[in-house]
Amino acid sequence: MNSPFQYPITLAAYDPLGNLIPMAVVFFVVIPMLKAVWAYLTREKKPKVLLESQPGFQGNTSLDDFRNPESAVLKWWQNHTERFFAVETVGAGVRFYAPDRVVEELHSAIIGGQFAAAANMHVHAKGQDGKWIASTQPVADFVKSVFQLSILYRPVWGHAMAGLKWGALSGIALKLVDTATGLMSVEPGAALCFVIAIAVCFLPKIGVIGMIIVTVAMGQFYRGNFFMMGISAAIIGAVLGCLPGMGLGALIGLSKRPQLPRAPDTRPEGVSIALKATLLPFAGGTALVVLYFFVFSPWLMPILAKQHG
């Protein structure tokens, strides 16, 4: 089978003005990247100040008091944090949580039967204009986006969704490594440019201008858009990896389900979950892999070789 990296990557014509572009890359990309890494390695971890230790702290109130806009408890939380959660308990009360504690505290409370899946969760956040904005959703909707909480209600499906994400990320990583390795076998300099292009995407605050500078700089030496090459590799890797990851995650969920803690009001997932979360993803993933390697790739390689030959 032909490799997508067998076409030659030619050296562009030398341009004296091109010497300024590598200098720009050093000042606008390499130096900021090194500064970001150094700042991360030398960062100081500030101790967290627990709200429970603040004067006047109250973590619970009645539902009637919570609905009062002038509630002293509500005012206290608005004065001490810019975002907090309030969940209605089974006993017609309301319990408050800080953002960094909500998942841990909810996990214990749900297992203990203090919250029903249909209970309302109120999210209060301060906007940029200083006004408070409140939104309400059932606890069941909130836990869907948090792995540790979702498996309390749907352990197999929760593991399947986690596997979907990690399968896509693993596929992206493997495809990027495969692309870099293929470039290395053809032209080590092109492989280095590709790695730099990928690294720039993770550089905070680099923006579009920085990417344009790097693209133009690489264009002085090698033909081709390494950013688009990276994006294409990432898309292919995500597509090929997500479904197998989902099936593998579901298998892990099935094996761990008997030992996992459950919410008291959870409902059985049923036998169909094995078909929906394991067999179908594995079948779909296998079909995509076969389609890519035996249909799409053989069709695409001659076109790339013709364009870059």
Q: How many domains does one find in the chain? A: 2
100: in domain: yes
CA distances 129 to 77, 78, 84, 134, 309, Å, are 18, 14, 17, 14, 57
22: in domain: no
Q: What is the mean pLDDT of the chain?
A: 79
CA-to-CA distance for 220 and 271, rounded, in angstroms? Answer: 59
Please indicate, yes or no, whether residues 113 and 205 belong to a single structural domain of this protein.
no
- Mind listing the pLDDT tens digit for each residue in 121-141? 999 998 888 889 989 999 888
Give the global pTM. 0.73
Please indicate, yes or no, whether residues 163 and 195 belong to a single structural domain of this protein.
yes
Higher pLDDT, 7 or 237: 237
- Mind listing the pLDDT tens digit for each residue in 190-214? 778 788 777 777 766 665 566 667 6
Please indicate, yes or no, whether residues 102 and 114 belong to a single structural domain of this protein.
yes
| Residue 265 domain boundaries | 154-308
pLDDT at 5 over 80: no
111: in domain: yes
Cross-strand pairs, 155? none
Please indicate, yes or no, whether residues 127 and 181 belong to a single structural domain of this protein.
no
* End position of a domain, from candidates 150, 170, 192: 150
Question: How far does CA 276 lie from the centroid of its chain?
Answer: 23
42: in domain: no
Sign of the Cα torsion 284, 286, 290, 296 reads positive
* End position of a domain, from candidates 97, 126, 150: 150
CA-to-CA distance for 284 and 296, rounded, in angstroms? Answer: 16
Rounded to the nearest 5°, which phi and psi values hold at 8? -70, 145
Highest mean pLDDT of the ranges 197-211, 234-248, 258-272: 234-248
Where would I find the H helices in the chain?
Answer: 20-25, 31-41, 63-66, 72-80, 102-111, 139-143, 147-150, 155-186, 188-201, 207-219, 226-256, 272-274, 280-291, 297-308
52: in domain: no
Please indicate, yes or no, whether residues 98 and 160 belong to a single structural domain of this protein.
no
Please indicate, yes or no, whether residues 208 and 121 belong to a single structural domain of this protein.
no
10: in domain: no
Burial of 280 (0-12, 13-18, 19+ CB in 10 A): middle
Give mean pLDDT, residues 250-257: 93
